[in-house]
């Protein structure tokens, strides 16, 4: 069985300290989710996947640090999308009465997304591999 600390702790930096270029791309992997979310807020922020996915697809083979951080950002945003869908289904399933619970939860999730995404970007810019505290790691 895997230890919880093993699952949440960042892996050792591949090949030592990331270069300045890798740090910048790692930061962009996190921040691109914010940009995508803001640009697509009119459709529920579905663009949060596009930026990290593009960064990952472009840099996964050439920059191990960026590969790791882009996957982490993508997995985190997929996890939050799943949470949002579950809250929406609960709201609709209760004919709107569940909104008394889900609306405050949406606000908490949105604030957590904003804070954790910015924290991930700052850590990546410092060359530290960031792990979101809750993310289903679907892309490995």
Residue-wise pLDDT for 98-112, tens only, equals 999 999 999 999 999
Does the residue 42 lie in any domain? Answer: yes
* Predicted structure pTM score: 0.84
pLDDT digits (tens, 9 = 90+) for 10-60: 554 455 799 999 999 999 999 999 999 888 877 777 788 899 999 999 999
- Say which residue the tokens 């697809």 belong to: 57
Nearest C-alpha neighbor of 34 from the set 121, 139, 99? 121
The two structure tokens encoding residue 92: 């609709």
Q: Please report the pLDDT score of residue 71 as a whole number.
A: 97
**Summary mean pLDDT of the chain:** 88
Domain residue limits at 66: 14-125
Q: Is residue 57 part of a domain?
A: yes
Q: What pLDDT score does 47 carry? A: 83
Domain count, the chain: 1
Residue 33 placed within a domain = yes
User: Which two structure tokens, joined as six digits, stand for 121?
Assistant: 């970007």
Residue 134 has a pLDDT of 86
Q: What is the pLDDT of residue 9?
A: 55
Query: Nearest Cα to 57, choosing from 94, 131, 49?
Result: 49
Position 1 in a domain: no
Residue with tokens 């890798």: 22
CA distance 7 to 113: 20
- Asked, for residue 61, whether it belongs to a domain, the answer is yes
Determine phi and psi for 34, rounding to 5 degrees: -65, -45
Triad 100, 106, 111: Cα angle to 5°? 135
Burial code of 101-114, b = ≥16 C-beta within 10 A, e = fewer? ebeebbeeeeeebe
Can you give the pLDDT at residue 12?
Answer: 47
Is residue 6 included in any domain, yes or no? no
**In-domain check, residue 89:** yes
Whether 85 maps to a domain, the answer reads: yes
């Amino acid at each position: 069985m895997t230890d919880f600390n093993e699952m949440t702790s960042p892996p050792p930096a591949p090949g030592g300290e990331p270069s300045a270029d890798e740090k910048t791309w790692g930061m962009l992997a996190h921040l691109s989710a914010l940009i995508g979310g803001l640009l697509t807020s009119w459709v529920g922020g579905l663009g949060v996947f596009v930026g990290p996915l593009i960064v990952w697809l472009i840099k996964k083979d050439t920059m191990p640090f960026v590969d790791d951080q882009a996957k982490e950002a993508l997995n985190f945003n997929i996890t939050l999308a799943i949470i949002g869908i579950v809250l929406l289904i609960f709201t609709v399933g209760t004919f709107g009465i569940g909104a008394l619970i889900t609306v405050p939860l949406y606000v908490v999730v949105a604030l957590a997304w904003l804070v954790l995404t910015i924290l991930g970007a700052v850590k990546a810019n410092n060359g530290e591999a960031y792990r979101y505290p809750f993310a289903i790691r679907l892309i490995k």
